[in-house]
Amino acid sequence: MNYSNTLAFAKEQDQKDPFRHFKDRFYAPQLNKQDAIYFCGNSLGLQPKSAQAYLDHEMQNWADFAVEGHFKTDTPWLHYHELLTEATARVVGAKPLEVVVMNSLTVNLHLMLVSFYRPQGRRFKIITEGAAFPSDQYALESQARFHGYNPEEAVVELFPRPGEHTLRTEDILASIAEHSEELALVMMGGINYYTGQLFDMEAITKAGHAAGAMVGFDLAHAAGNVLLHLHDWHVDFGVWCTYKYMNSGPGGTSGVFVHERHARNAALPRFAGWWGHDAEERFQMKKGFKPMPGAAGWQLSNAQILPMAVHRAALELFDEAGMNNLRKKSEQLTGFLAFLIDEIGADKSRLEVITPRDPQARGCQLSLLVRQDARLLFDLLMQAGIIVDFREPDVIRVAPTPLYNSFEEVYRFAEVLRFCLSRKS
Ligand SMILES: *Cc1c(COP(=O)(O)O)cnc(C)c1O
């Protein structure tokens, strides 16, 4: 797409945008008594207006039916989580057997590590991206310790080359090959939360398997943002939250992917609970855990209906829009943002985009490294009615999402950014 640095161009793109009406299906947060420009869907997605009705429906069922709500309503709670399965599978490129919605993200990561991090003898190492989201670091570190290893030795963190901000795929693959004799697991973000780098999950999975390791991804920043083909890529497991790009509410429920080839593998150890037991006989309350085939067999507890009701509303929007269409707009929208930032022509010593330039190596987020007064710039943006996010010590993350952001908003952001930078110098 050929971009042009004018408001007219932005408005023209919005006219052509098949999703221009989706904005009205979300509540707009208020700042200075006005609708804010919200570029923070990577942290907490906006509330779909339809969510309230889904939630109210289950609250009413609870009021009207109490325990009978498990069976007697149009959306019986006993099977509620199954209402989410097919739409979830479409978002992450999986078969329905391969996904389940349950718990929260870090909990699910631990559950997956119990099954897929099986260190033995010399094979005990985990390769991960350096400076991963802290919860991922702590999960890996504590799992290594749980198995009796020193995390300093067990967890191999990969860092960019000196002077670079993101990892090169060739370096990731080389490191996997280098550690192949000792490697038990490759576990990284699908997209790094800080730099916005989208990793080549297919190549990494292939290399991990060639090295004899399991491969899993934390897709917190990838699910609902970029196209995923978890099944075709042969990824062993994946986990994600639903409150970021998937707009399913603060602390909302989480998703899990387990590849089909593990669906009936009874040899995989797991921490079990009654909801993962064969549904046919779950209520016979018998001794002896018999897992359901597929990801559902990792469930522990009966479904959290209220957050799932919100998730259901959000997933319907994804189904209506289609991930392919969303990603197409997303590339254009973020491409426009990158173009406009280039146009500002700020000196690298002031402002640098650390997210990869290649659209195939990023999702919708651009991370701006602000070398002077990053906090002040963030405050100025807020004063101008723009909500972005600040990460210590000096990065501002800007995430225009295709569901509810427009080209005009991107244009207005760039205008304010240009003004702020000129003001500060
Ligand atoms: C947001 C995020 C989390 C958050 O974990 P919760 O268990 O949902 O609090 C974890 N990992 C990554 C990579 C994230 O981006």
CB 363 within 8 A of CB 191: yes
| Confidence check: pLDDT of 45 > 90 | yes
The strand pairing partners of 352, in sequence order, are 369
* Ligand 1 pocket residue status of 129, Cβ below 6 Å: no
Neighbours of 174 (CB within 10 A): 13
Q: Are 8 and 28 in contact (CB under 8 A)?
A: no
Q: How large is the average pLDDT for residues 107-121?
A: 97
The per-residue pLDDT for 75 is 97
Look at residue 149 and give its three-state secondary structure.
Answer: coil
Domain that holds residue 402: 7-35+324-424
Q: How much distance in Å is there from the Cα of 133 to the middle of ligand 1?
A: 7
Same domain for 82 and 223, yes or no, is: yes
Cβ of 221 less than 6 Å from ligand 1: yes
What one-character-per-residue DSSP string does 320-380 give?
Answer: HH-HHHHHHHHHHHHHHHHHHHHHHT--TTTEEE-S-SSGGGB-S-EEEEESS-HHHHHHH
> For the domain that residue 372 is a member of, what is the CATH number?
3.90.1150.10
Mean of pLDDT values over 273-286: 91
Rounded percentage of the chain residues whose pLDDT exceeds 70? 100
* Domain-embedded: residue 41: no
Ligand 1 close to Cβ of residue 133 (< 6 A): yes
Residue 111 lies in a domain: yes
Q: Is the pTM of this model over 0.95?
A: yes
Query: Could you tell me if 84 and 115 lie in one domain?
Result: yes
2 assigned to some structural domain: no
Question: What's the burial of 48, exposed, middle or buried (CB within 10 Å: 0-12/13-18/19+)?
Answer: buried
Looking at the structure, tell me whether residues 271 and 188 fall in a common domain: yes
Last residue of a domain, one of 300, 319, 338: 319
**CB 182 less than 6 A from any atom of ligand 1:** no
Question: Residue 68: which CATH number?
Answer: 3.40.640.10
129 CA from centroid of ligand 1 (Å): 15
* Mutational pocket test of ligand 1: of 40, 112, 113, 193, the residue with most ligand atoms within 8 Å of the beta carbon: 193
Tell whether 344 and 233 lie within a shared domain. Answer: no
Instruction: Evaluate if residue 419 carries a pLDDT over 60.
Output: yes
Same domain for 359 and 210: no
Closest Cα to residue 43, out of 324, 387, 309, 383? 387
User: What is the predicted pLDDT for the residue at 382?
Assistant: 95
- Averaged pLDDT for residues 279-308: 94
**190 pocket-lining for ligand 1 (C-beta < 6 Å):** no
Top mutation candidate among 106, 138, 242, 311 for ligand 1, by most atoms within 8 Å of CB: 106
Same domain, 140 and 285: yes
Query: Is 45 inside any structural domain?
Result: no
Q: Give the DSSP H/E element, type plus range, for residue 387.
A: strand 386-387
pLDDT > 80? residue 388: yes
Domains identified in the chain, total number: 2
pLDDT at 423 > cutoff 90: no
Task: Give a yes or no: residue 49 inside a domain.
Answer: no
The whole-angstrom separation of Cα 135 and Cα 309 is 26
User: Has residue 82 been placed in a domain?
Assistant: yes
Tell whether 19 and 85 lie within a shared domain: no
Residue from 111, 135, 253, 391 to probe ligand 1 pocket by mutation (most atoms less than 8 Å from CB): 135
Residue 424 is predicted with a pLDDT of 53
User: Judging by beta carbons within 10 Å of its beta carbon (0-12, 13-18, 19+), is residue 199 exposed, middle or buried?
Assistant: buried
Is residue 42 situated within a structural domain? no
User: Which tens digits make up the pLDDT trace of 397-413?
Assistant: 999 999 999 999 999 99
The answer to whether residue 278 scores a pLDDT higher than 70 is yes
Q: What is the pLDDT of residues 134-193, one digit of tens each?
A: 999 999 999 999 999 999 999 999 999 999 999 999 999 999 999 999 999 999 999 999
Residue 1 is predicted with a pLDDT of 87
pLDDT of 425 > 60? The answer is no
pLDDT confidence band for 286 (50 / 70 / 90): confident
Q: How far is CA 214 from CA 98, 198, 425, in A?
A: 16, 20, 50
Q: Do 31 and 64 fall into the same domain?
A: no
Predicted local distance difference test score (pLDDT) of residue 159: 98
The band of 285, judged by pLDDT with boundaries at 50, 70 and 90, is: confident
Give Cα separations from 19 to 3, 15, 202, 325 (angstroms): 19, 10, 29, 9
| Whole-number Å distance between alpha carbons of 296 and 80 | 13
Atom of ligand 1 nearest to the CA of 43: 1
For residue 96, is it within any domain? yes
Average pLDDT, the chain: 97
Same domain for 310 and 328: no
Alpha helices (runs of H) in 66-187, residue ranges in sequence order: 85-92, 105-116, 134-146, 151-154, 169-178
Q: Are residues 239 and 209 in the same domain?
A: yes
Instruction: Based on the fold, state whether residues 360 and 234 are members of the same structural domain.
Output: no
Write out pLDDT tens, residues 200-223: 999 999 999 999 999 999 999 999
238-267 pLDDT per residue, tens: 999 999 999 999 999 999 999 999 999 988
- What share of the chain has pLDDT > 90, as a percent? 94
Cβ(111)–Cβ(215) under 8 Å? no
The residues facing 166 across adjacent strands are none
Residue 142, number of CB atoms within 10 A of its CB = 12
Q: What atom of ligand 1 comes closest to residue 243's alpha carbon? A: 8
> What pLDDT sits at residue 283?
87
Report CA-CA distances (Å) from 53 to 19, 24, 28, 310, 314: 22, 16, 18, 9, 12
Q: Could you read off the pLDDT of 295-325 as tens digits, one per residue?
A: 999 999 999 999 999 999 999 999 999 999 9
Choice among 68-77, 252-261, 370-379 with the minimum mean pLDDT: 370-379
Ligand 1 centroid–CA 103 distance in Å is 12
* Residue whose CA lies nearest to ligand 1 atom number 15: 220
User: Is there an atom of ligand 1 within 6 Å of 331 CB?
Assistant: no
